[in-house]
């Protein structure tokens, strides 16, 4: 059925048959080639972290992808479709322009609390959905740490794997890894920039980052106490779901507080699954 | 190590239990492989097929699983082309089932052709006038498409996706899925149709021969329609079955109900056309060559009951059950409808393959009977065992049901 096979004849039937087969084959091969080509471009342009986050974000359950404005009460319900990157979100920009979040926060009647269910929430810093915070140091660089919620979840990590000094990090890209038990907990970087120093839990921060010159926008981070408090409440709810077993369901006692080292207090829980859920790495 | 491969946040049975559960299936696989060796080594005389009964258990089984496997391309079409996003929760499982059905069918065909080493002849020097040539081309290409669709699911394995390049490739390959889904639908349309058309053009077999509609015999369209009607029901059934066996909630009820509804609507359309086709065949096509209904349905066990069973109990009844919202909402009715729909398409393929060849077509010919040998049965069971094993591993180590993690706490 190919022109070089002696039975082949230049007739309509033979041409349709060969052409159809060739067309389908070309389409399938082109699809695969395009995929390879795109992968090559990703590595060439060094946008691996961006793609990894996109791939990860797609797999997040709906409950983990709630829009921050749905959590704070601006919307009744809304799922983020913008990779948690409010810097490039048209809806976020419009809300801020119209000062709608501000009105909602004022309506709450308080500035937010510095503590919620025993969790410290210092309001002198900005919070990222991956449970990191960012604080501008006196020298203009960013200090990056994990919030109290994450601290209690990871407890005392056996090892921390930092990126090398000089490495470029991207917001929502891979930040550093904390090893607890048999699990590697991947912490997302909250900002774009270059790693200039690494810290530890004693210092209270883990990375010092020199902000990227071309992208110092922090619109994707939460700054208002009311919003941060609402988000922490939502995260406690997510934790309950993540800790729930098939038989019992979500059952964290009302009014309880998280212990300093949750894996130690509850060693039988599926911590690997919980870390995946809370640190946005399904 | 085993736990590190299981999808994060979901639980699976202990590894030892898993292996114990698979042992019987591996035994079946082993027996089938031995039977396969015998057929390859000593030839098709290890089967009870002959020159007159050239299609047996294997071809029947191929036709049935290819029809049921249509759920893969049809679900892909609904999700990627018609943007029915609710089917995202079953698409991975549907692709695996499709891959199993098609690769299993091709494995059985490899044994059936008797000279598997010459299988490539059908691609290199096909008979352009044969429906089977089209089937060969479309099946080979569609299996390739299914394999390409399977790759991103495998790459979503927890360990594999830790390799950034794998995850990036998976992500980019996933972006071309709508294209592959479209191509898959086109290929499926033609090979399902050609399988039906192959029987419809047998003018020496009045039981199968049909009138022509737009170049093709009517069975071409009926095979396509019945496959896409039963395919979603098969996905519904397998999802429910896996959910019951594993004790997990895998998808929300509305997804199963949507699959049931689509199946129901298509079944009703199929039954309508099948009824017209049967009436035309019994009153015009068949009498024109000297065969009355009694000639087709006068040989036990193939009485007129088999036609009524196929059209009414396994066609119209499940169609009515599945299009009824109240009935569909009740799991027992939903499952009954889906089981009947799948049984209907399986019976249709059985009748088309076996009854066609059993009935005498000449005055001096006898009614033929055929019983598969143990080798034929073993190879048939081997394909089922292969499917169970591959699906079990996929369910254990791959994210077949993305909603599962979210649902286990609700």
DSSP B321-374: HHH-HHHHHSHHHHHHHHHHHHHHHHHHHHIIIIIHHHS--STTPPPP-----H
How does pLDDT run across A117-159, given as a tens digit for each residue?
888 889 889 999 999 999 988 888 999 999 999 999 998 889 9
* CB contacts, 8 Å: B3 with chain A: 272
Domain hosting A217: range is 53-233
Is A124 within the bounds of a domain?
Answer: yes
Cβ-nearest to A54 among B171, B402, B406 = B171
Q: What pLDDT does B153 receive?
A: 93
B83-87 average pLDDT score: 91
Domain count, chain A: 2
Together in a domain, A26 and A156: no
pLDDT at B230: 95
Chain B residues closer than 8 Å to A42 by CB: 168, 172
Do A109 and A197 share a domain, yes or no?
yes
Q: Which burial class, exposed, middle or buried, applies to A76 when counting CB atoms under 10 A from its CB (0-12, 13-18, 19+)?
A: exposed
- The fraction of chain B above a pLDDT of 70, given in percent, is 99
CA–CA separation, B56 vs B50, rounded Å? 9
**CB atoms A55 and B171 under 8 Å:** yes
Kindly determine whether residue A32 and residue B176, on different chains, have CB atoms separated by under 8 Å: yes
Q: Do B248 and A35 lie within an 8 Å CB cutoff?
A: no
Residue A31 predicted with pLDDT over 60: yes
**Residue B183 sits at the chain A interface (C-beta within 8 Å):** yes
Nearest CA in chain A to B145: A28
Say if A40 falls within a structural domain. yes
Q: Do A57 and A161 reside in the same domain of the chain?
A: yes
Helix, strand or coil for residue A135?
strand
Number of domains present in the structure of chain B: 1
Instruction: Output the pLDDT for position A90.
Output: 93
Q: Pick the residue from chain B with its C-alpha nearest to A237.
A: B409
Would the pLDDT of A48 be above 70? yes
* A278 belongs to a structural domain: no
Question: What percentage of chain B exceeds 90 in pLDDT?
Answer: 60
DSSP letter, residue B302: B
What is the predicted pLDDT for the residue at A63? 83
Considering the domain architecture, whether residues A41 and A72 belong to the same structural domain is answered as: no
CA-based nearest residue in chain B for residue A282: B8
Q: Chain centroid to CA A203: how far?
A: 24
pLDDT bracket for residue A273 (50, 70, 90): confident
- Any domain includes A252: no
- Provide the H-helix boundaries in B43-200: 57-68, 70-76, 88-112, 121-124, 131-155, 164-175, 177-200
B301: cis peptide before it, omega within 30°? Answer: yes
Mean of the pLDDT values across residues B338-354?
95
The reply to whether residue A1 touches residue B128, judged by beta carbons under 8 angstroms, is yes
Of A191, A216, A233, the last residue of a domain is A233
**A114 Cβ neighbours under 8 A, 6+ residues apart:** A120, A121, A122, A123, A225
Q: Is A168 exposed, middle or buried (0-12, 13-18, 19+ CB in 10 A)?
A: middle
pLDDT digits (tens, 9 = 90+) for B42-58: 988 899 988 888 888 99
- Chain B residue whose CA is closest to A269: B9
Q: Which of B405 and B83 is assigned the larger pLDDT?
A: B83
CATH code assigned at A184: 2.40.50.100
Give the burial string for A145-164 (b: 16+ CB within 10 Å, else e). bbbbbbbbbbbebeebebbe
B83 in A contact zone (CB under 8 Å): no
Q: What is the DSSP letter of B44?
A: G
Residue labelled with tokens 């949750």: A262
Question: Is residue B309 included in any domain, yes or no?
Answer: yes
Distance from CA of A174 to the nearest CA of B (A): 11
Question: Chain A residue closest to B7 (CA)?
Answer: A282
Domain-embedded: residue A255 = no
Among A233, A252, A270, give the residue marking a domain's end. A233
Contact B187/A at CB under 8 A: yes
User: Within this chain, do residues A144 and A27 fall inside the same structural domain, yes or no?
Assistant: no
Residue B356 belongs to domain spanning: 53-88+177-370
Q: What are the CA-CA distances from residue B309 to residues A270, B219, B344 (Å)? A: 51, 18, 8
Indicate whether this complex's ipTM tops 0.85.
no
Q: Is the pLDDT of residue B11 over 90?
A: no
3-state SS assignment for residue A178 = strand
Residue B35 is predicted with a pLDDT of: 95
Return the pLDDT at B138: 85
Indicate whether A243 belongs to any domain.
no
Q: A6, A15, A19, A27: best mutation site toward chain B, by most B Cβ within 10 Å?
A: A27
Q: How confident is the model at residue B401 (pLDDT cuts 50, 70, 90)?
A: very high
Q: Is residue A215 part of a domain?
A: yes
Number of Cα atoms under 13 Å in the Cβ half of residue B38: 15
Q: Average pLDDT over chain B, rounded to whole?
A: 91
CB pairs under 8 A between A and B: 116
Q: How confident is the model at residue A187 (pLDDT cuts 50, 70, 90)?
A: very high
pLDDT score, position A113: 62
Asked if A111 and A170 sit in the same domain, the reply is yes
- Return the DSSP state at A77: S
> Which of these ranges, A254-263, B277-286, B322-331, has the smallest mean pLDDT?
A254-263
Asked whether residue A36 falls in the same domain as residue A168, the answer is no
Looking at the fold, whether A80 and A205 belong to one and the same domain comes out as: yes
Q: Are residues A125 and A221 in the same domain?
A: yes
Confirm if B310 and B348 have CB atoms less than 8 A apart. yes
Q: How many CB atoms lie under 10 A from the CB of residue B366?
A: 10
Mutate to test the interface with A, among B121, B144, B405 (most CBs of A within 10 A): B405
Please indicate, yes or no, whether residues A59 and A172 belong to a single structural domain of this protein: yes
Question: Is residue A95 domain-shared with residue A30, that is, in the same domain?
Answer: no
Decide if B406 and A25 are in contact by the 8 Å CB cutoff. Answer: no
Q: Does B126 touch chain A (CB under 8 A)?
A: yes
Q: What is the pLDDT of residue A103?
A: 83
Q: How far is A50 from chain B (nearest CA, A)?
A: 10
B149 belongs to a structural domain: no
Give yes or no: residues A104 and A203 share one domain: yes
Provide the whole-model pTM.
0.89
For the beta carbon of residue A47, count every other beta carbon within 10 angstroms.
15
Structure tokens at A78: 């809304």
A119 lies in some domain:
yes
């Amino acid at each position: 059925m190919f022109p070089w096979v002696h039975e082949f004849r230049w007739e309509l039937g033979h041409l349709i048959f060969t052409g159809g087969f060739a067309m389908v084959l070309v389409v399938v091969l082109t699809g695969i080639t395009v995929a390879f080509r795109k992968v090559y471009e990703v590595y060439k342009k060094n946008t691996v972290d961006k793609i990894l986050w996109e791939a990860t974000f797609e797999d997040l359950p709906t409950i983990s992808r709630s829009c921050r404005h749905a959590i704070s009460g601006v919307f009744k319900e809304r799922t983020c479709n913008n990779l948690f990157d409010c810097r490039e979100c048209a809806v976020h920009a419009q809300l801020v322009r119209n000062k709608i979040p501000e009105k909602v926060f004022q309506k709450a009647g308080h500035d937010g609390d510095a503590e919620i269910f025993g969790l410290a929430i210092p309001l002198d810093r900005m919070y990222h959905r991956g449970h990191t915070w960012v604080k501008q140091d006196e020298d203009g660089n960013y200090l990056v740490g994990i919030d109290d919620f994450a601290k209690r979840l990871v407890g005392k990590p056996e090892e921390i794997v930092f990126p090398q000094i000089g490495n470029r990090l991207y917001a929502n890209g891979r930040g550093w890894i904390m090893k607890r038990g048999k699990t590697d907990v991947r912490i997302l970087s909250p900002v774009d920039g270059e790693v200039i120093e690494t810290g530890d839990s004693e210092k209270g921060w883990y990375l010092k980052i020199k902000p990227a010159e071309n992208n110092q926008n922090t619109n994707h981070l939460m700054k208002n106490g009311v919003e941060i408090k609402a988000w922490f409440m939502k995260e406690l709810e997510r934790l309950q779901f993540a800790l729930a077993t098939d038989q019992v369901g979500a059952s964290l006692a009302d009014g309880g507080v998280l212990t300093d080292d949750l894996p130690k207090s509850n060693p039988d829980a599926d911590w690997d699954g919980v870390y995946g859920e809370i640190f946005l790495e399904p | 190590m085993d736990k590190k491969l299981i999808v994060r946040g979901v639980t699976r049975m202990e590894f030892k239990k898993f292996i114990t559960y698979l042992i019987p299936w591996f035994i079946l696989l082993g027996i089938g492989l031995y039977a396969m060796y015998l057929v390859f080594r000593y030839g098709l005389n290890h089967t009870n097929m002959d020159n007159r009964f050239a299609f047996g258990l294997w071809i029947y089984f191929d036709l049935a699983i290819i029809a049921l496997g249509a759920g893969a391309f049809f679900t892909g079409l609904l999700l990627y082309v018609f943007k029915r996003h609710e089917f995202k929760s079953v698409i991975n499982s549907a692709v695996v089932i499709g891959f199993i059905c098609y690769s299993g069918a091709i494995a059985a065909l490899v044994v059936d052709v008797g000279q598997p080493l010459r299988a490539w002849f059908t691609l290199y020097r096909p008979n352009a006038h044969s429906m089977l040539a089209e089937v060969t081309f479309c099946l080979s290409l569609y299996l390739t498409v299914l394999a390409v669709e399977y790759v991103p699911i495998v790459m979503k394995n927890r360990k594999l996706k830790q390799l950034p390049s794998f995850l990036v490739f998976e992500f980019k390959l996933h972006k071309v899925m709508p294209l592959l889904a479209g191509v898959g639908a086109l290929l499926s349309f033609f090979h399902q149709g050609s399988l039906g058309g192959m029987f419809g053009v047998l003018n020496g077999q009045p039981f199968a021969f049909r009138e022509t509609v737009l170049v093709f015999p009517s069975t071409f369209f009926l095979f396509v329609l019945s496959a896409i009607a039963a395919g979603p029901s098969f996905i519904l059934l397998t999802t429910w079955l896996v959910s019951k066996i594993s004790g997990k909630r895998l998808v929300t009820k509305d997804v199963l109900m949507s699959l049931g509804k689509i199946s129901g609507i298509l079944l009703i359309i199929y039954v309508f056309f099948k009824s017209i086709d049967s009436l035309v065949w019994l009153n015009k096509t068949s009498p024109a060559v000297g065969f009355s209904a009694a000639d087709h349905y006068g040989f036990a066990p193939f009485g007129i009951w088999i036609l009524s069973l196929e059209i009414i109990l396994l066609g119209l009844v499940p169609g009515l059950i599945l299009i009824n919202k109240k009935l569909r909402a009740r799991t027992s009715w939903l499952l009954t409808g889906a089981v009947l729909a799948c049984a209907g398409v399986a019976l249709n393929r059985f009748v088309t393959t076996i009854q066609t060849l059993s009935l005498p077509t000449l005055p001096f010919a006898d009614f033929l009977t055929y019983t598969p040998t143990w080798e034929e049965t073993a190879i048939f069971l081997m394909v089922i065992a292969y499917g169970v094993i591959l699906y079990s591993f996929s369910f254990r180590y791959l994210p077949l049901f993305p909603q599962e993690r979210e649902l286990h706490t609700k």
